[in-house]
Amino acid sequence: MQTIDEVLVRMDQIVDECRSDQSRIGYFAILYRQVTRRIRDGILVREFEDNPRMERLDVLFAGRFIEAYDSWKKSQKPTESWQLAFEASKQSKHLVLQHLFLGINAHINLDLGISAADTMGSEPIVGIQNDFNKINAVLAELVDGVKTNISTVSPIFGWLIPLAKGRDEMLLNFSIQLARDGAWKYAGEYYACEDRNASILERDHNIAMLANKLINPGKFLSFMVKIVGFAEWKSVTRTMDQLDAVIKKAQTI
């Protein structure tokens, strides 16, 4: 893929495949498709510091998710953090937000830093920081919209929120800003290191540990997640359709 329009064609295909297969990977795919649409629209009105460069970044960034998805579908092994997200999608016991955060965890904490450094090549990495932050701002806006309207697919999720007080629970306290800051720090480390493959393996292992915290949030919260999960919609297709509506609405606010 060379253009953002080609990325969007493939993202449409992935969303359709997930809908057909009743795959919960579609939850993240719908969210990320809207992020890509928003970036495409921003490029068209030249809102970024370097719009052609932003398109290159977006193509590389999206390509990492698409490559991971395609590898998994072919029974090949993607990065560990994506593997955990994809395997968790087979389980109905996880909440919609768990599936979304697992995708965001792999894509922001691992893929974004790599993509930013690869986009810059030999140019100073600091040159892309502002546009890097804008991608995260778009994602944060959409995730906030989903959280605000999560009751449409998870009627009693709000019961979990008071449990966050005084607890270090990643599921309840997942922060796009913290993920962004960590991803930018890693972008600099990856940019400067000599053995990039080794760097990716180490980073991936660390991000996979965060994924495991999202999948297994502890005995007490896991029990509460099970209760909340009983009230969530069981139809993957219906949930995908509602998420799509919520995310599009969030983008217009």
Where in the chain are the domains?
4-252
Sign of the alpha-carbon dihedral angle for 231, 232, 235, 241:
positive
Q: Are 29 and 11 in contact (CB under 8 A)?
A: yes
- Residue 253's pLDDT is 45
Percent of the chain clearing pLDDT 70 (strictly above): 91
Burial 58-92 (b: 16+ CB within 10 A, else e): bbbbbbbbbebbebbeeeeebbbbbbbbbebbeee
Whole-number mean pLDDT of the chain?
89
**pLDDT bracket for residue 100 (50, 70, 90):** very high
> Residue range 130-159: average pLDDT?
82
Q: Which of 108, 72, 113 is nearest to 200 (CA)?
A: 113
> Residue range 32-53: average pLDDT?
95
Q: What is the pTM of this model?
A: 0.91
- Residue 21's pLDDT is 95
Phi-psi region of 166 (alpha: psi -120 to 50; beta: other; left: phi over 0): left
Q: How far apart are CA 137 and CA 17, in angstroms?
A: 28
Q: Which residue bears the tokens 């953090």?
A: 81
Q: Are 84 and 212 in contact (CB under 8 A)?
A: yes
Q: Are 171 and 100 in contact (CB under 8 A)?
A: no
Q: Are 91 and 185 in contact (CB under 8 A)?
A: no
**pLDDT bracket for residue 13 (50, 70, 90):** very high
**pLDDT bracket for residue 126 (50, 70, 90):** very high
- Residue 173's pLDDT is 60
- Residue 252's pLDDT is 59
pLDDT of 129 > 60? The answer is yes
Compare 189 and 151 and report the one with higher pLDDT: 189
- Residue 199's pLDDT is 97
Q: How far apart are CA 133 and CA 136, in angstroms?
A: 5
Q: Which residue bears the tokens 């217009």?
A: 252
- Residue 4's pLDDT is 97
- Which distant-in-sequence residues (6+ apart) come within 8 Å of 166 by Cβ? none
pLDDT of 167 > 60? The answer is no
Compare 230 and 197 and report the one with higher pLDDT: 197
> What single-letter DSSP state applies at residue 194?
S
Reported as a single tens digit per residue, the pLDDT across 171-224 is 656 778 888 899 999 999 999 999 999 999 999 999 999 999 889 887 767 777
Percent of the chain clearing pLDDT 90 (strictly above): 64
